[in-house]
Amino acid sequence: MASHKINNGVKANEIFEGQVKLYKHMFAFLDSLCLKWCVDMNIPNIIHNHGQPMTLHELVSTLKVPLAKVSGVHRLMRYLAHLGFFDIVRIIQEDQEEKEEAYVLTYVSKLLVRGTDHCLSPMVDLILDPTVSTSYQQLGKWIHDEGNQTPFAMALDTDIWDFLSNNPTHMKYFNDATASDSQIINLALRDHGVVFEGLESIVDVAGGTGMVAKYLSETFPHLKCIVFDLPQVVKNLKESNNLSYVGGNMFHSIPKADAVLLKVCVFHQI
């Protein structure tokens, strides 16, 4: 390809390379929405429960997809396979001579099988929910605002915590998502428990329903574990001998302890 300078000293090949990168990011939302479709349709569980590679015909039959939409499902599944969520294998069905495409789970989509110990589908439910994701449409307005409103507050005219308090469905999304993320944290902590040796107390700030703190309290019976979160989050949660729940606002104060545990907050940017 020619690389002549055509405008302000920019070469043609640089323009085309820039276009590729630009379009890649511009259409990146399709990756997320295809993932959301996959989780909404419960496809990882369907393939998991099938117990063997699943053909397109078997999948659309289970989903009860109208005939006119079968080709669309085929394109979506091939794209998700391209993204690494599924592998495509070729199998021979009974009474058939030619091999047929079939889908199997990858190490990524295995994390989306609901009911397993380390399922992250609730994170997809929360982060890709339109009510949550639409807040990022407000970044332009937010950057010029002299107040302290978050993009989420600008989108819905309320902060995220009040919104969750008044919307039980989204509160469940939030609690399930943080709990699922904590399951992965527990897997990491299982082989690195030495970091908690010598501590007598720890406070899990924004600890949600206490998934990590429960693990720590059971693994280290001598360790006093405090879960600190908003009152509506920790209300009526069951305590144990060395596990307690405290409601409050971490921006005002937090309970005293030998150590503070802070995990990533899924709403830290909104």
What tokens were used for 106?
């990858």
* Cβ contacts of 107 within 8 Å, gap of 6 or more: none
Give me the tens of pLDDT residue by residue for the chain, a chain 270 residues long.
Answer: 455 666 667 788 889 999 999 999 999 999 999 999 999 999 999 999 999 999 999 999 999 999 999 999 999 999 999 999 999 999 887 777 778 999 999 999 999 999 998 899 999 999 999 988 888 889 899 999 888 888 888 988 888 878 888 898 988 888 888 888 888 877 777 777 778 878 899 999 988 888 888 888 888 888 999 999 888 888 888 888 899 999 998 888 999 999 998 876 555 444
CATH, range 130-262: 3.40.50.150
- pLDDT at 23 (0 to 100): 96
- pLDDT at 266 (0 to 100): 55
> What are the structural domain ranges in the chain?
29-114, 130-262
Q: At what angle do helices 56-63 and 43-50 cross, to 10 degrees?
A: 120
Residue 212 in contact with residue 261, Cβ under 8 Å? yes
Nearest to 216 by CA among 240, 241, 237, 189: 189
Query: Residue 52's Cα: distance from chain center in Å?
Result: 26
- pLDDT at 3 (0 to 100): 54
Architecture per CATH, 29-114: Orthogonal Bundle (1.10)
pTM score, whole prediction: 0.79
Helices (H), the chain: 12-26, 29-40, 43-50, 56-63, 70-83, 121-127, 130-133, 139-143, 151-156, 160-166, 168-189, 211-219, 231-234
Enumerate long-range contacts of 147-150, CB under 8 Å, 24 or more apart. Answer: 150/270
- How many CB atoms are located within 10 Å of the residue 242 CB? 17
- pLDDT at 232 (0 to 100): 80
Distance CA 36, CA 76 (A): 11
Same fold, 29-114 and 130-262: no
- pLDDT at 265 (0 to 100): 58
